[in-house]
Amino acid sequence: MFFRSFTSLIRIRPYLTKETVSVRSFSSCCNALSNSQGNKPSKPVKPADSRKTYLMEIYQHFWETNEIVLFAHHNNLLSSDNEQIRKELHKISKDIQFRKLKSSIFRHYLRASNHEDPISKAAMRQVKRKKTRHPLEPLLKGPTALIMIKDLDPKAVKEVWRVLKAQKEKLFLMGGKVGQRYVDLDKIGEFKDLPSLPELRSQLVGLLSMSSGAGIVRALESAPTNLAMTLESRKNEMEKKEADVKTDEIPE
């Protein structure tokens, strides 16, 4: 009995990570262990379904916590290739992640991603009823992997582009999402050549400190002064008219 429980734990363990284990996944694992020990679980647990739920949660976590998600097609990547790619990406930033997909499950997540709970049965029913499709679905044809970047960083994308170029036909970009926009390969190419946010801020400060910027500041400062002068001039005109009227009313 103990041996069977231990074996079940070994089978489940590879799917557990520190970052992505959720309450629902933990509950599924506990039910699986309970079932292996002969205790009847509260609800039937199917290994395929529990793994699907787990992957859906992982994909939801990736999608919602990364500003940039790039789709790449891979061909015959070995385990050694995977490790080498991860090492190269981690040289750019430790936050960049590389993950191969179960395309059919990720496709379902994308279709349900606008639902408040994409993993729920209600989301599944809504997708079926409305026949929902996602703009990025065409990128999931064939073996697909994700490269995920937490921040909107064009320089990081440029370095990722360089790493994948070295892989040639083994791994190449197809498109993805940048912020809230879905982009193709051309748009990714344009984005990677943009300056970073700190560089943009520096450029803006430089512009404001130049003569044109000083002119803007002067215009803003002079607006209240001009208004006050206009009101003062109008007041003087009205006082002059009142004085003229009083002069006309005095009998000769």
Question: CA-CA distance, 51 to 63, in Å (whole number)?
Answer: 18
Share of the chain above pLDDT 70, in %: 65
What is the per-residue pLDDT across 177-224, written as a single tens digit (0 to 9) for each?
999 999 999 999 999 999 877 777 777 777 676 655 555 555 555 555
Question: CA-CA distance, 249 to 139, in Å (whole number)?
Answer: 89
- 84 token code pair: 């080498």
User: Which residues, listed in sequence order, are joined to residue 71 by a DSSP beta bridge?
Assistant: 146, 175
Given a cut of 50, whether residue 105 has pLDDT beyond it is yes
Given a cut of 80, whether residue 101 has pLDDT beyond it is yes
Parse the chain into domains and list their residue ranges. Answer: 66-194, 203-249
pTM reported for the whole predicted model: 0.62
In this structure, how many other beta carbons lie within 10 angstroms of the beta carbon of residue 97? 19
CATH code: domain 66-194 is 3.30.70.1730
